[in-house]
């Protein structure tokens, strides 16, 4: 009895410690969002005075001033960023899942070489190929177009690697073989059997791909010159680099607040699939 009470006491203490640590981490994560919202409601002078836990009264002023700024087309920037990020996420997860399924489910010559080649591409930084990529885009007449920002997401080595690892852990080949015996063609099997099994992996990589494309500054800055084609990261940098005398920190925080809202919405919609994926992995483990 004493040993049982002692073990229960240790377990309770361990839970208390875990809850305290989780509460601290949760506070640290949410505190910066709170700071962002507070500063978005204050003017430049108030922000320069230091942080305050109480919101200011300039939220509507900052929002109206930002939307009225002719040099910073916020609405078109939101539309461009949503277009690029959404299409990038869709193309990345679908074609990467298809490639991963092909590598996982089929045996063909140079299969290992193809897998190794994709991994080598994954190790290559974007900056190495940027000059050639920009020259190719210009030669195709696609400068100041959104197409070069989302179309290359068809080839996403990092997403492919994650998908392949997920298939190896969670999809037995017996399911695919049973579908083939029932007369299902390969595309039907992939779209209606494989993809539903991969929902947790697709959700995780959709979030990562969306956020990566949403925050991408380097490539759009090289390709986009027209104001109505610029994405939000470029507009934020443009607003931040304004003349010191005209610099409005309240508008900067407001624009960052606007820029982070779609990311939060995407995460809230897809988070349930992430939880299911973690629970599924725990059961199978």
The pLDDT tens digits for 196-205 are 888 888 888 8
For the chain, give the mean pLDDT: 84
Percent of the chain with pLDDT over 90: 16
The pLDDT tens digits for 38-63 are 888 888 888 888 878 888 888 888 88
Model confidence at 151, pLDDT cuts 50, 70, 90, reads very high
Burial of 184 (0-12, 13-18, 19+ CB in 10 A): middle
76: Cβ contacts below 8 Å, ≥ 6 apart:
227, 228, 229, 230
Whole-number pLDDT of residue 30: 85
Under DSSP, is residue 141 helix (H, G, I), strand (E, B) or coil? coil
140-144, 237-241, 268-272: which is most confident: 140-144
Burial of 40 (0-12, 13-18, 19+ CB in 10 A): buried
The pLDDT tens digits for 175-224 are 888 888 888 888 888 988 889 888 888 888 888 899 999 999 888 988 98
pTM of the model: 0.83
Q: Which of 1-5, 18-22, 164-168, 175-179 is the least confident region?
A: 1-5
The pLDDT tens digits for 227-238 are 889 999 998 888
Whole-number pLDDT of residue 85: 94
Q: What is the mean pLDDT of residues 115-141?
A: 84
Residue 165 has pLDDT above 80, yes or no: yes
**Which stretches within 171-198 are classed as H helix?**
173-181, 186-189, 195-197
């Amino acid at each position: 009895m004493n040993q049982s009470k002692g073990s229960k006491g240790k377990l309770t203490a361990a839970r208390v410690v875990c809850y305290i640590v989780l509460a601290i981490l949760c506070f640290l994560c949410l505190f910066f969002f709170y700071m962002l919202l507070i500063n978005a409601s204050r003017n430049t002078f108030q922000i320069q005075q230091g942080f305050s836990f109480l919101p200011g009264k300039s939220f509507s002023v900052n929002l109206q001033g930002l939307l009225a700024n002719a040099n910073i087309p916020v609405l078109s920037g939101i539309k461009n960023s949503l277009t690029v990020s959404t299409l990038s996420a869709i193309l990345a997860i679908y074609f990467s899942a298809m490639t991963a399924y092909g590598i996982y489910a089929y045996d063909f010559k140079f299969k290992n070489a193809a897998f190794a080649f994709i991994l080598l591409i994954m190790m290559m930084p974007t900056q190495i190929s940027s000059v050639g990529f920009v020259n190719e885009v210009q030669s195709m007449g696609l400068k100041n177009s959104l197409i070069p920002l989302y179309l290359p997401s068809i080839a996403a080595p990092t997403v492919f690697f994650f998908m392949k690892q997920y298939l190896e852990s969670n999809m037995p080949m017996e399911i695919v073989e049973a579908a083939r015996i029932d007369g299902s063609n390969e595309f039907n099997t992939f779209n209606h059997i494989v993809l539903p099994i991969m929902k947790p992996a697709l959700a995780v990589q959709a979030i990562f791909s969306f956020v990566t494309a949403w925050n991408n500054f380097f490539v759009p800055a090289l390709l986009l010159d027209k104001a109505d084609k610029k994405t939000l990261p470029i507009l934020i940098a443009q607003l931040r680099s304004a003349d010191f005398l005209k610099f409005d920190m309240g508008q900067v925080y407001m624009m960052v607040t606007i820029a982070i809202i779609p990311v939060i919405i995407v995460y809230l919609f897809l988070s349930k699939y992430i939880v299911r994926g973690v629970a599924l992995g725990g059961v199978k483990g």
